[in-house]
Amino acid sequence: MSRMLVTGGAGFIGSNFVHYILENTDHHVTVLDKLTYAGNRASLDGLDAARFSFVRGDITDASAVDALVAGTDIVVHYAAESHNDNSLDDPRPFLDTNIVGTYILLEAVRRHQKRFHHVSTDEVYGDLELDDPSRFTEQTPYNPSSPYSSTKAGSDLLVRAWVRSFGVQATISNCSNNYGPRQHVEKFIPRQITNVLTGERPKLYGDGLNVRDWIHAADHSAAVLTILERGHIGETYLIGADGEKNNREVMELILTALGQPTDAYDHVAERPGHDVRYAIDSTKLRTELGWMPQFSNFEVGIEATVQWYRDNEDWWQPQKAATEARYLSQAR
Ligand code: NAD
Ligand code: TDX
């Protein structure tokens, strides 16, 4: 049994990880989360109070972070500003949380000599052409495109430097696009589902041929736990489930799951700097640490996700109008 401090545990992937840990291990979890627009305390409702606690706080607050890190065994770092479109409008919070916040955490785990796992994204590698046969590996050079992905790349490099220079006991994972329950309605899949449920037309950027490599959030959680249990200090592991699909295909699956015609959506303005394709080669994680994804049927996963949004309107409805108002100002 270990004590885990999970930053960003009220967000999409962090909350899925917390549920996964409480259901599948005997670890104790403390969540540190600022509850920005993207955090939702309700995502952690109903958890066993004997093994779970919640602290509202900011990872850039060095004294709050120091006290929490001192009282834990492991820090799992999910907290971030995570949305590319927002980073194009206002990059500053991305620098503060993703770079300065990671620095504050690294200094605390260095002082208290605690195990650290840094959760990152495949977007640090930039993008691939549609007809490129290669996929990202741990050796792919960093080449981020957006303010969001450049701050994630910066945070990864800080972790590597703190391992090398100060002996911090850290690992890094770079995962592809996640889907599943409790994802904010600003993101592609929940936005389209909740558009249909609220009578709005779904919105596809540009020609919709951009490819994302989808993985269920539960598979991501299992991969992070595997790295915590068996990963080697200083190593980076790519996490992916061979789930490449272009946005049009995903849109059509969502519309089908909702009983709509597959062309019942609008094309809207292209995202500036829009990455063309992400694709992950997760051979290292599979062969060295023995992880395998369990959610292999994307269509079934989308149907379950649609059902979750149908069943949990109270969770997402309060965020919907503000999210669409922000998109309207971006013509997207
Ligand atoms: P999210 O936006 O849903 O959640 C982020 C959480 O962090 C929120 O609860 C928010 O309140 C919290 N937070 C933000 N700033 C904070 C601060 N200064 N202090 C404390 N808490 C703060 O994001 P997500 O999609 O769940 O992503 C989680 C992590 O996984 C991020 O690091 C992201 O880069 C990474 N990631 C995401 C994906 C994806 O597909 N969404 C893929 C790969 C990696
Ligand atoms: O309304 C939309 N229409 C649309 O066509 C939205 C919101 C998005 N898109 C497109 C843009 C992307 O090609 O769908 C794709 C997915 O978009 P997002 O959900 O915004 O994800 P993406 O930009 O790919 O980044 C995600 O995966 C990597 C997460 O948001 C990041 O946090 C993660 O690092």
Which residue's CA is the nearest one to ligand 2's atom 27?
177
User: Chain-wide mean pLDDT for the chain?
Assistant: 98
Structure tokens at 13: 């992937």
User: Could you state, in order of their start, the residue ranges of all structural domains in the chain?
Assistant: 3-186+213-243+279-297
Which residue's CA is the nearest one to ligand 1's atom 44?
121
Active site residue 131: no
Question: H or E stretch including 264?
Answer: none
For 227-262, the pLDDT digits (tens) are 999 999 999 999 999 999 999 999 999 999 999 999
For 264-295, the pLDDT digits (tens) are 999 999 999 999 999 999 999 999 999 999 99
For 72-125, the pLDDT digits (tens) are 999 999 999 999 999 999 999 999 999 999 999 999 999 999 999 999 999 999
Atom of ligand 1 nearest to the CA of 239: 43
For 173-225, the pLDDT digits (tens) are 999 999 999 999 999 999 999 999 999 999 999 999 999 999 999 999 999 99
For residue 330, name the pLDDT band (cuts at 50, 70, 90). Answer: confident
Residue count of the chain: 332
Stretch 303-325: mean pLDDT, rounded?
98
Atom of ligand 2 nearest to the CA of 80: 32
Among 144, 135, 148, 132, CA closest to 99: 148
pTM of the model: 0.98
For residue 329, name the pLDDT band (cuts at 50, 70, 90). Answer: confident
For residue 332, name the pLDDT band (cuts at 50, 70, 90). Answer: confident
Q: In the CATH scheme, what architecture does the domain 3-186+213-243+279-297 have?
A: 3-Layer(aba) Sandwich (3.40)
Q: What is the pLDDT of residue 284?
A: 98
Question: Cα(249)–Cα(204) distance, rounded to whole angstroms?
Answer: 11
Which residue's CA is the nearest one to ligand 1's atom 41?
178
> Is residue 187 in contact with ligand 2, taking CB distance under 6 Å?
yes
Query: Do the Cβ atoms of 302 and 179 come closer than 8 Å?
Result: yes
> Is residue 82 in contact with ligand 2, taking CB distance under 6 Å?
yes
Question: Cα(65)–Cα(109) distance, rounded to whole angstroms?
Answer: 10
Q: What distance, in Å, lies between the first and last C-alpha atoms of the chain?
A: 47
Q: What is the pLDDT of residue 79?
A: 99
Q: What is the pLDDT of residue 124?
A: 98
Q: What is the pLDDT of residue 331?
A: 79
Active site residue 33: no
Q: What is the pLDDT of residue 90?
A: 97
> Is residue 151 in contact with ligand 2, taking CB distance under 6 Å?
no
For 12-54, the pLDDT digits (tens) are 999 999 999 999 999 999 999 999 999 999 999 999 999 999 9
